[in-house]
Amino acid sequence: MGRAMAFLAEILAVAVVWLSSFALCQFGVATETRAHKANHAHAVKTVARSPRADAAKPQPVSAATPAVAPKAA
């Protein structure tokens, strides 16, 4: 009787793991990952930047207080 119960417990465990992985796949969770081969060297990426002399110079910000609008009665 002990071997039969152990076998049923194993079958139940397999079913639970399989169903949970199936449920997680519905939400986009990868349960089996494969190693990606890095067979090529990555190209060097450069960013085009404008020279510092041509960069926009910051403009001063006016710190004037807002005008008070008269209250309408």
Q: Kindly state whether residue 21 falls inside one of the protein's structural domains.
A: yes
pLDDT band, residue 2 (cuts 50/70/90): confident
Cα dihedral 8, 10, 13, 18 in deg (nearest 10): -110
Q: Kindly state whether residue 4 falls inside one of the protein's structural domains.
A: yes
Tell me the C-alpha distance between 53 and 60, whole Å.
18
CB 24 within 8 A of CB 31: yes
pLDDT in tens, 18-64: 898 888 877 777 666 666 666 566 677 777 776 776 666 777 777 77
Q: Kindly state whether residue 27 falls inside one of the protein's structural domains.
A: yes
Q: Kindly state whether residue 16 falls inside one of the protein's structural domains.
A: yes
Tell me the C-alpha distance between 29 and 23, whole Å.
9
Structural domain range at position 16 = 1-31
pTM for the model stands at 0.38
| Per-residue pLDDT at 13 | 96
| Per-residue pLDDT at 46 | 75
| Total number of domains constituting the chain | 1
Q: Higher pLDDT residue, 35 or 7?
A: 7
Tell me the C-alpha distance between 6 and 13, whole Å.
10
